[in-house]
Amino acid sequence: MRALLLPIKDQKNAKQRLAGLLSPEERQSLARAMMEDVLTAVRGIRRAERVFVVTSFAPAMRIAESAGWEVLAEEQQLSESASVDYASRCCEQRGVTALLRLPLDLPLLQPADIDDLLAFESTAPAMLIVPSRDGTGTNALLRTPPTLFPSQFGHSSFAKHLAAAEQAGARLTVRHSPRLGMDVDDPEDLRALLQHDLAGTATGRWLAASGVGERVLAPGALAGR
């Protein structure tokens, strides 16, 4: 069984690396807009037999339940890695053989991007990974089986996941994707995002309506950051 996993954080402390550029309210609004874009893409996928959401964030639970997705509730969120590994164990116990983890800050994501990853097949043990645009982060991770190795999200996670997969004896596949690679963690990411066509995205609408997009693109906006 192939499944999709969405780890959703409490957004009250969202996007701390943007704190020098955006107010807390703006960071929360940006996180909500990007989450909306990802969830819209997920609603259009065809290849996931089940969709799981791991979270302690009540609004995310309600969204997941209304979409018919399965909620893996946490009492607290210790880290991204802890949440994903807890969920991976739960999914494996439910018969999931291949699990794709996606973050919630991929505003360019399309349903076909997800389906293409879920269509990947390889005899276990295997890993399919998509790096962030700078090549250091992990923006998509498909593990067969789901608990193939512990997660190491955070600084230099791409290299760490490659090393862990090699140690586990897994078949490794690396894919590069402009849309999947475009996450937003820091001001440079936000400026890079604004170079893309954001028409039809909740993120694009918010960046325009809030004035944040114009502010980020202003000369000298990121100077000294």
Domain residue ranges of the chain, discontinuous segments joined by +: 2-215
**Averaged over 25-36, what is the pLDDT?**
96
- Residue 146 and residue 160: Cα distance in Å, rounded? 17
| CATH code of the domain made up of 2-215 | 3.90.550.10
**Predicted local confidence at residue 138, as pLDDT:** 97
- Residue 135 and residue 132: Cα distance in Å, rounded? 5
**Averaged over 46-64, what is the pLDDT?**
94
**Predicted local confidence at residue 223, as pLDDT:** 55
- Which residue reads 């964030």 in tokens? 57
- Residue 178 and residue 209: Cα distance in Å, rounded? 25
**Averaged over 102-127, what is the pLDDT?**
96
Tokens of 90: 């739960």
**Predicted local confidence at residue 128, as pLDDT:** 98
**Predicted local confidence at residue 222, as pLDDT:** 64
* 221, pLDDT greater than 90: no
- pTM assigned to the model: 0.94
